[in-house]
Structure 1
Amino acid sequence: MSTRRPFRFAAQSYRAADAREWKDTVRRVEELGYSALHVCDHYIGAGPAMDPTGHRPVTLAPVPAMAVAAEVSSVLRIGCRMFCVGYHQPVVLAKEIATLAVLAEGRIEAGLGAGWLEAEYVAMGVPFDSGAHRVDLLAEVLELLDMWFAGKDVAVDGGQVRAAGFAPLPVPKLRPPLMVGGGSPRVLRLAGERADIVSINFDNRSGVIGPASIAGSGPEQTHRKLAWVRQGAGERFDDIELETAAYFVAIEGAAGTTEAELSAQTGLDAAGLRAFPHALVGSVDEICDQLERRREEYGFSYITVGDRVLDAFAPVVARLTGC
């Protein structure tokens, strides 16, 4: 990376039982110094459809949760990581994102993905099309959003975005940054071409978070993913902010998951966990060192952690915010 970006940290929330708990979460994320709060775009709860996938249940739908969060906090950036484009009619999604960007000017980040959780599609009765078709749809939604935010007339004809249809309303004064995430070559090339923020993630084409996700996300595979982003981005690569999530976190002296538990869960030994780009293990000092090394090696400056480690991870946020 020719330019070293300062760190930003996001907390990703999966669960809130009611309005009070959600608002308390928003306030807590702000108080602890995080830059952003991410929500998720998943809909069904625990049961035979979701249990085998390894994905956590998500309680709140993204758009209303984002709206409330943006009202509670005037500081946090509020994002969705990621809107699954296959779950939404494109024009409706574009208007919802644009409305959020108008109502919380300068504080909305819209994450978009091609979708991967086949069991959820099936359970909801949404067609789970081929990977190629899902990435085609992602590209079309990105084109629609670009035209919408520019105030250009658009139309959607048979899934294809075309000009000279209708005037988009509303048009935000400030274009919200778009995050695109994934782990496959075509998605990451598309992200490099079109996104403001690129999220380097697992390639979950199997529809399950499991051994294949781990095996496809080590240091060598992460460099390969970054090369795909560069192929799509060309000369604009240094303008892109690179984000990734630490899905496996064990902080020395903090309650929660232990390093031994993470080793059993991932199949990685101590050295492997410390080298794995989606894990952070050790003392606060060691984790800060890991993040600084990864920023140098991969360019990752935007780090997302789950709500389970919100408090335990706060000393890392305090140490590195602004660095």
Structure 2
Amino acid sequence: MTDRHPEVSPFRFGVVTPFGPDVAGWTETVRRIAGQGYSTVLMPDFPRLQPAPAAALAVAATVADVRVGTWVYAAPLRRPWLTAWEAHSLTLLTAGRFEMGIGAGRPGIEEELRERDLHVPSPGERLQQIRETVAALRELDGADAHTPVVTAVTGPKARALAAEIADTVTFAMTPTESRASVEERIRSFDSTRKVELSMHVPVVGDSVSPFMAPPDIDTGSLRETDSLSCLPLDPAAAADELRRRREELGVSYIAFGADVADTFAPLVAELAGR
């Protein structure tokens, strides 16, 4: 965390909420998450495996008074102007409750792009797509709106871009990456603006949340290495760990999977907004 902004933000919590098994069940999950105090319902961007994020989030925003967001748009899947138009439309339709999460694309997306006869951009081209998307979004928002942008980053060039254009930065990590490596990446982040720091937690106890990490992860090894990609199942112990992360790293916005939302409802009640 940069020394220019030593203050930390209040805790808030999002839930990656994949669709399934039916509309009634999914909308009930959205209502329950909102009622438990989570700030944001998040939708993964997995073509064919999930409904399009914009459509799903528009529905979510009508069934509960909750923020909605993409976790995260894969920039190579769409032209920048199309992503920006979709994001701005969601800001309008949700009365300002939409957050655009965007990143360079998950591991393995190159094969998905080839299957769809889409160009496979270089890492530099992907960052340029993100820059162009946010620039187009700002033009569409104009002076009367501001769609918050959440960027998922790993390398130094992505972190530099995020420091320039993002409202929230989430630090992507492989589940097996060492705690020290991720902590160093977070501590090296520097911005002249106040930027909220975020982290997604795909593993809780022995549970791996769908669409957040590969299902065959060795969860025992993660605990042995004190990985930042996991939390203990006990809400009190998890709350202590999140306080530690905020104190040491400045991370205040945490995304869980919907499969652990009920378990962590007491944690959210204790920490959210504080």
TM-score range, shorter chain: 0.7 to 0.9
Is the Cα contact below 8 Å between 2:176 and 2:222 reproduced in 1? no
- 1:219-230 pair list within 5 angstroms: 219-230=179-190
Q: 2:221 aligns with which of 230, 251, 268?
A: 268
With over 3 angstroms needed to count, the CA separation of the structure-2 counterparts of 1:61 and 1:179, relative to structure 1, is: same
The TM-score normalised by the length of structure 1 is 0.75
CA distance in 2 between counterparts of 1:294 and 1:263 reads 26
Is the Cα contact below 8 Å between 1:277 and 1:294 reproduced in 2? no
What code does the residue aligned with 1:94 have?
A
What code does the residue aligned with 2:84 have?
A
Is the Cα contact below 8 Å between 1:121 and 1:127 reproduced in 2? yes
SS in 1 for 2:139: helix
CA distance in 1 between counterparts of 2:38 and 2:71 reads 16
Is the Cα contact below 8 Å between 1:16 and 1:60 reproduced in 2? no
- 1:245-264 pair list within 5 angstroms: 245-250=200-205
Q: 1:81 aligns with which of 68, 71, 74?
A: 71
> How far is 1:25 from its partner?
1.6
> How far is 1:43 from its partner?
0.6
With over 3 angstroms needed to count, the CA separation of the structure-2 counterparts of 1:316 and 1:15, relative to structure 1, is: same
> In the alignment, what sits opposite 1:100?
90
The answer to whether structure 1 residue 183 and structure 2 residue 154 are counterparts is yes
CA distance in 2 between counterparts of 1:44 and 1:23 reads 20
The answer to whether structure 1 residue 301 and structure 2 residue 252 are counterparts is yes
What code does the residue aligned with 2:13 have?
F
Q: Over aligned residue pairs, what C-alpha RMSD do you find?
A: 2.2
> How far is 1:143 from its partner?
2.0
Q: Tell me, which stretches of 5 or more residues in structure 1 are unaligned?
A: 46-58, 152-172, 203-212
CA distance in 2 between counterparts of 1:101 and 1:269 reads 38
What code does the residue aligned with 1:214 have?
P
What code does the residue aligned with 1:18 have?
D
Is the Cα contact below 8 Å between 1:214 and 1:266 reproduced in 2? no
The TM-score normalised by the length of structure 2 is 0.88
CA distance in 2 between counterparts of 1:291 and 1:22 reads 28
Is the Cα contact below 8 Å between 1:13 and 1:37 reproduced in 2? yes
With over 3 angstroms needed to count, the CA separation of the structure-2 counterparts of 1:198 and 1:269, relative to structure 1, is: closer
The answer to whether structure 1 residue 284 and structure 2 residue 245 are counterparts is no
With over 3 angstroms needed to count, the CA separation of the structure-2 counterparts of 1:33 and 1:87, relative to structure 1, is: same
Cα shift readout 1:250-291 (whole Å, capped 9, x = no counterpart): 18xxxx57xxxx99714626452xx32221014222111000
Larger Rg: 1
> In the alignment, what sits opposite 1:310?
261
Cα shift readout 1:155-208 (whole Å, capped 9, x = no counterpart): xxxxxxxxxxxxxxxxxx331111111212211211111100001112xxxxxx
> In the alignment, what sits opposite 1:67?
58
Is the Cα contact below 8 Å between 2:201 and 2:256 reproduced in 1? yes
- 1:1-323 pair list within 5 angstroms: 2-45=6-49, 59-74=50-65, 76-116=66-106, 117-150=109-142, 173-202=144-173, 213-216=174-177, 218-230=178-190, 233=191, 235-236=192-193, 239-250=194-205, 265-266=218-219, 268=221, 270-272=223-225, 275-323=226-274
Aligned length: 262
> In the alignment, what sits opposite 1:56?
none
- Choose 122-131 or 282-291, whichever is displaced more: 122-131
CA distance in 2 between counterparts of 1:68 and 1:264 reads 32
What code does the residue aligned with 1:124 have?
R
- Choose 132-141 or 14-23, whichever is displaced more: 14-23
> How far is 1:64 from its partner?
0.3
> How far is 1:312 from its partner?
1.3
With over 3 angstroms needed to count, the CA separation of the structure-2 counterparts of 1:127 and 1:103, relative to structure 1, is: same
Identical positions, percent: 30
